[in-house]
């Protein structure tokens, strides 16, 4: 063990969008540090990255986080953006923090890497641990990201509702758009679990609309056979087709992620026009 437990001052911060299980992760870090290593000085940074230099901190103990896993959201609050590497590292240095646990997605982890590089440049003895937060399950080195199972379970509700709706209408087509910027794990697993889905479109597998073997041909075939169908669509699928129809402006959110075009609305309009 590199650090002497009595000399450790750790901090935990949550950034970006919400995800099921964040509070459980916070709780396990606090309890693990305390019970397994004897660390007693643990700070909670409130409100994301900007909380390092503009918010108060919380003193975290096993008792204070005892039941937070029963709540939704994040106990520490969150925000997008607000990353100022120098201000954050100044704060880490001033507070004599030597372990930083950062819970967040793509943009957050890029920020964590920048913090580590600045810490290294200054020669500080600080460990920076990035904990990936993504319900998309799009991390190759782990079996499953936290929040993924809950996302698939909740997706079932939307799929079931769509199936009930289209089954009650002649030639009804239900379109369920699910999260999945660059990967279709939620869409794929929800489809496999449902058994009511006729077609699943994901970013990893390209598709086309017209012609032999196209989506429209398949939709027509299913409507003839069943009189209804359900399509599950990951939000990142078909972006190249949407960009040809809608003006792509290349905007990004506060975390630096590219804003996706609405493939659900685009496909809905295409299907309506085709069967008008």
Structure confidence by residue, pLDDT tens digits, 53-101: 987 799 999 999 999 999 999 999 999 888 899 999 999 999 999 999 9
pTM of the model: 0.82
Domain architecture of the chain: domains with CATH: 5-132 (3.40.50.450), 149-274 (3.40.50.460)
Q: Where are the beta strands (DSSP E) in the chain?
A: 10-14, 42-45, 57-59, 99-104, 127-132, 172-178, 199-201, 228-234
Exposure b/e, 58-96, CB count within 10 A at least 16 = b: bebeeeebeebeeeeebbbebbbbbbbeeebbebbeeee
Structure tokens of 66?
């005892």
Question: How large is the greatest C-alpha to C-alpha distance in the chain, in angstroms?
Answer: 72
Active centre residues (catalytic) = 136
116 touches 128 (CB < 8 A): yes
pLDDT on residue 253: 64
Tokens 């923090």, located at residue: 97
Does residue 249 carry a pLDDT above 60?
Answer: no
Per-position DSSP letters for 104-117, written without gaps between them: E-HHHHHHHHHHHH
pLDDT on residue 1: 60
pLDDT in tens, 165-192: 999 999 999 999 999 988 999 999 999 9
pLDDT in tens, 108-142: 999 999 999 999 999 999 999 999 998 888 887 88
Structure tokens of 237?
């699928």
Give the DSSP H or E segment for 26. helix 22-31
pLDDT on residue 248: 55
19 touches 146 (CB < 8 A): yes
pLDDT band at 247 (very low <50, low <70, confident <90, very high): low
């Amino acid at each position: 063990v590199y650090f002497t437990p009595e000399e450790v001052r750790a901090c935990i911060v949550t950034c970006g969008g919400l995800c099921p299980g964040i509070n459980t992760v916070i709780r396990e870090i606090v309890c693990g540090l305390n019970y397994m290593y004897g660390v007693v000085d643990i700070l909670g940074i409130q409100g994301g990255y900007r909380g390092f230099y503009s918010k108060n901190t919380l003193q975290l103990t096993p008792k204070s986080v005892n039941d937070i896993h029963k709540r939704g959201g994040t106990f520490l609050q969150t925000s997008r953006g607000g990353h100022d590497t120098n201000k954050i590292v100044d704060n880490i240095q001033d507070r004599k923090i030597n372990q930083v646990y950062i819970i967040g997605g793509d943009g957050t982890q890029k920020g964590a890497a920048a913090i580590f590089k600045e810490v290294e440049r200054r020669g500080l003895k600080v460990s920076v641990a990035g904990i990936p937060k993504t319900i998309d399950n799009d991390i190759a080195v782990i079996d499953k990201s936290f929040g993924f199972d809950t996302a698939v379970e909740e997706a079932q509700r939307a799929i079931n509702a769509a199936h009930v709706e289209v089954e009650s209408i002649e030639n009804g087509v239900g379109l369920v758009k699910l999260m999945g910027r660059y990967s279709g794990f939620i869409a794929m697993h929800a489809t496999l679990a449902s058994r009511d889905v006729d077609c699943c479109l994901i970013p990893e597998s390209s598709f086309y609309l017209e012609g032999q073997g196209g989506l429209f041909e398949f939709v027509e075939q299913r409507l003839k056979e069943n009189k209804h169908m359900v399509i599950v669509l990951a939000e990142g699928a078909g972006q190249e087709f949407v960009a040809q129809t809608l003006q792509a402006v290349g905007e990004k959110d506060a975390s630096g992620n590219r804003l996706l075009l609405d493939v659900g609305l685009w496909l809905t309009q295409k299907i309506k026009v085709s069967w008008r």
